Amino acid sequence: MRTTMIRVCQVLALLALAVCVSVPIVACVGKLSFSEYLRWFNLASLLWFLTAPLWIVPSLFGKEWEKAGRLAKLRRRP
């Protein structure tokens, strides 16, 4: 269960980062207003901080999560 959650978090975190990087490009070429860009960027940032810690540093949440982090296939072994 924990391993699956870490994998899901990884996918969501990467998605959030992709949004963080792509919305300013869309705003820069004039396809998105500045206020829309701000909304998307802030939401994606929130998603990043909700998901990335579990993927990148599962040890922050205890030994069980650290173990699950090692087992998660998408995560490289340290």
Residues near other proteins, by CB under 8 A: 17, 20-21, 23-25, 27-28, 30, 34, 37-38, 41-42, 45, 48-49, 52-53, 56-57, 59-60, 76
Integer Cα distance of 40 and 75 in angstroms: 27
Distance in Å, CB of 46 to other proteins, minimum: 8
2 or 32: CB nearest other proteins: 32
What are the backbone angles phi and psi of residue 68, rounded to the nearest 5°?
-65, -35
The phi-psi region of residue 32 (left if phi > 0; otherwise alpha if psi is between -120 and 50; otherwise beta) is: beta
Distance in Å, CB of 45 to other proteins, minimum: 4
